[in-house]
Amino acid sequence: MSTPDVVIVGGGIGGLSTAFALSRSGLKVRVLEQAKEFGEVGAGIQLAPNCTRILDDYGLLDTAKARGVVPDRMVMRDAVDGSDLTSLDLRDLERKYGFPYLVIHRSDLHRLFLEACRRAGVELLTEQRVVAYSQEGDTATATTGAGTVHEAAVVIAADGLHSVARKLLVDDQPVSSAYVAYRGTVPIAEVGRPVDLSEVVVYVGPRCHFVHYGLRGGDLLNQVAVFESPKARAGLEDWGTPDELDNAFAGTCDAVQQGLPHMWRDKWWRMYDRDPITTWVDGRIALLGDAAHPPLQYMAQGAIMAIEDGWVLAEHAKLLRGDGGAVDWAGALTAYEAVRPEHCRRVLLAARAWGELWHLDGVEREQRNILLRARETDDYSFTDWIYGPTALFPEDEPAMFEPIPLASADRSAGDLADSPAQ
């Protein structure tokens, strides 16, 4: 095998999207996947404008739209009484940010990047389980369990939540949220109830939430049920089981209850993240995607952040490519590390806070509902920091939103009570 410019460890969405981004500049890229074939598990995935903007730059947006669904509205409802809390007009959102909000099956998005990599001539290798990394001078290596050594100017570790490469930079462990997700995609003809596929819906409830939206042009309904596991809180190893699923949603509204029978009950996903880190680069070895910043799912930005990582790295490699074609990799990796960790730190912490807000009970739930109902549909102050263009430099990173204290809902309720009837 010839020596590539870049070796990427991990053939998921982050690894493949980064491989394609780098190959567009004429760089030779090799992707190492530990499985016997390239594939992706899971169900639906949401792609906000900060991602569809990049897909458009890659020339892949039209294909993604054809394989997915472009919904009209995102709505949040109370899981207990089913009432509307707040919403986003996604067509207006597209006008504001210039690119659509798209939902697509995770395997369809993965295949989109796989096909793009094949067309671009990316070298795609399977059954390559990387167990060690090393470097010397201007060369980095990734070594497999079978003893194969892959060498390049740069090695990008997109090896997920349990990243081997991350151990080069920090001695930490995944953090359990004690929440677990059940998924279920079902042909729309088998749902047995009317479902508005123009909407992306999340029902938020006490220590649980339920999401549904259409996939594959409306042929499939994607559903996700997430709840806090009492067994996990008690320290038991066998947690997140189907009996806990039923108990967690026992007090929810009919719309949620009707979706639960369609959940897959033979597998579930325990929800972990990691604390943010600011160092992603060690010489010629760099972390990307979940290896650097695995989030909880509440912001729907996990795969998007990985795609953004690859786009930013490729843009800096392009900016720092000399007339002879050689990339100033030290400069490109420094620029990458200067901007991405801070953005992803914000997303990780916002995701944790968003999850807490969704799952409130008692008085705090009532306060949350008051504040959400008071929000104007065209108020984008909470999305501007994340749905706008991906920052290439630290000074391009927009300011975050200002959180609204729950206690302010008491004043809002008082104001509403004192106002004249309409």
Q: Which residue has the tokens 């590390």?
A: 337
Cα–chain center distance at 152:
28
Rounded-to-integer distance, Cα 376 and Cα 245, Å: 34
Rounded-to-integer distance, Cα 292 and Cα 337, Å: 11
DSSP track, 124-189: EE-S--EEEEEEETTEEEEEETT--EEEESEEEE---TT-SGGGGT-----EEEEEEEEEEEEEGG
Per the DSSP assignment, residues forming a β-bridge with 69 are 103
Angle between helices 408-418 and 362-374 (to 10 degrees): 60
Strand pairing class (269-273; 123-125): unpaired
Rounded-to-integer distance, Cα 337 and Cα 341, Å: 6
Please tell me the number of Cα atoms within 13 Å of 249 on its side-chain side: 29
CA separation, residue 345 to residues 5, 275, 326, 348 (Å) = 29, 8, 31, 5
Cβ within 8 Å of residue 265, ≥6 positions away: 182, 242, 245
- Provide the token pair at 32: 């190492």
Rounded-to-integer distance, Cα 128 and Cα 159, Å: 12
Burial readout 108-146 (b: 16 or more C-beta within 10 A, e: otherwise): bbbbbbbebbeebebbbbeebebeebebeeeebbbbbee
Q: Return the active site residues.
A: 213
Rounded-to-integer distance, Cα 218 and Cα 70, Å: 10
Q: How far apart are the first and last CA of the chain?
A: 75
